[in-house]
Structure 1
Amino acid sequence: MELALPQAAVVAKASAVPEKRGPGIRVPRFKKPTKKGAVSVVVMTFAAALVATMALPAYAFGGGGNFDNGVATDASLSGAQTLEVPDASAALAISRDNYKAPTTEELAAAREAAAAAVAATEAANRAADAAASTAAKGATATSGAFTVNPPSGSYSGAAIVAFAEQFVGVVPYGSGASPDTSFGCDGLTQYVFGAFGIYLPRTVSNQAAMGIPIAPEDAQAGDLMVYPIGHIGIYAGDGTMIDSPDWGRYVEHRPVWGSYYFVRIVA
């Protein structure tokens, strides 16, 4: 008795029987993968991985990939929010100093005041120079020419005082060291001692260094009187001195003043 088999089983059975090989039958062969095909597979794999990598953060950011139910979403943050400030911060006080920036008018006034002070100083200096020049010209016009009397004897204290006396009230104060122009305080002493062949340099400190300091009780006429403030004169005895004092004034014979010490020039 023969059993009827289903058609599908018959097909499967038939396919399971290996094909016979013979001279007239060709068995199909599998093609070897080409380089182009392998590159295509790699590119497709990389593209799929890139799409998956980009999709995961976007999915999580959009809320679909929320892994923590405790994280607030945009909807939960849209409500009212409050901020508490610590008491220590709230208690801080704001303080300001009393400085105020000057106004434009105040700055302009300050500049004008400074310019006026400079102009006044320059004007005073010009006036003093003009007065000294006028006095020198007047003395020349009165006597025809200022004649300096030479020393009447050899070097001594009395001879120094006598020679310096002729410039009192005649030669004005200035920056010079000649009776033809003017006498600074050190210019007068340089000229007077130079008439006796004794050279004294300019400046008070240099002239003071040329002599020997002596005690006030040993001072004699003809000694130098040195003031620490930068002034020098010739001691004339009896508590007086001959010096060229200041702008607008002339050589004077006047009482000693201020704080000073004596220096003696030894010829």
Structure 2
Amino acid sequence: MAPLGDSLDNEQNPDNDRPEQPMTRRRLRELEALNSAAASSAVEAPSKDMVLAVPAPSAQARATTTALEVKKPAPIATQRPSIRMPRFAKPSKKSAGRAVVMTFAAALVATMALPAYAFGGGGSFEAGVATDGELAGNQTLVVPDASAALAVSRDNYTAPTPEELQASRERAAAAVAATQAAAAREAAAASAATAAAAAAEKGSSAGSSAFTVNPPSGAYSGAAVVEYAEQFVGKVPYGSGASPDTSFGCDGLTQYVFGQFGIYLPRLVSNQAAMGIPISPADAQAGDLIIWPIGHVGIYDGAGGSIDSPDWGRYVEHRPLWGSYYFVRIV
């Protein structure tokens, strides 16, 4: 028997301490039926036959009666099961795009299928259905007389044969070869003309520069050296040679002149300066070498002048001394 004031659920359901579990619909209907039966039995008023006629109770009796009164049981609390409603995801742009694409594809298929269905005779694709169909109306084609009078003509063009093509290629190759040969002949003629002109120019310059070279008039002396070198003035051009037949460089002139007297001088101004001894201007004599530090050499005439081959485009000259120089005597 449950103590006074406790709920009937504590007596009837000893597992109340357990955590509540979601109730099924069947269990919910059973609990509702039990609650309805308990409420109707507890609330139902007593009938007249069950009422006893008793005198007015005293205060003590009323207290006893109150204590004996049956307390109305509290209604059983019902708990509705928690039913989770399905959640629908919010449509995204990607799903919407897929839906649009699928709709478009379906419309495209339908657009292509309907004409084929109509042309095929209502879905029948048997052979000859399309060719046996009759046109709905009569059609008339009118051709003008001018068009009917035109006759089909063909021009006189014919495709060349392989033999004709080969002959055309051979003619083109022959023309190219002839052009190349003519160009080669012209180049050879121009080269020959250039060579002849150069030879003629060389012959004329050699003829113009050719002269009789007189040998030294006597034994080696300063005056004999100056006299021998004087014959080349204005006749032999400046160049890189060391012979009157071609040209004279400054060191080539001194090498050639002193060589005619049996004295060997090497090329280059510095080498020739090393072959003698420096002397003072007061002691300088005819036939001494004049050395310019800039790299030039000449023959001193003994009177304040020099015989030298100066520069390109000029000939051997006899001119006064110039610039900074010093004297070297060959011994």
Q: TM-score, normalised by structure 2?
A: 0.38
Structure showing greater radius of gyration is 2
Q: Whose relative contact order is higher, 1 or 2, with alpha carbons under 8 Å and at least 6 apart?
A: 1
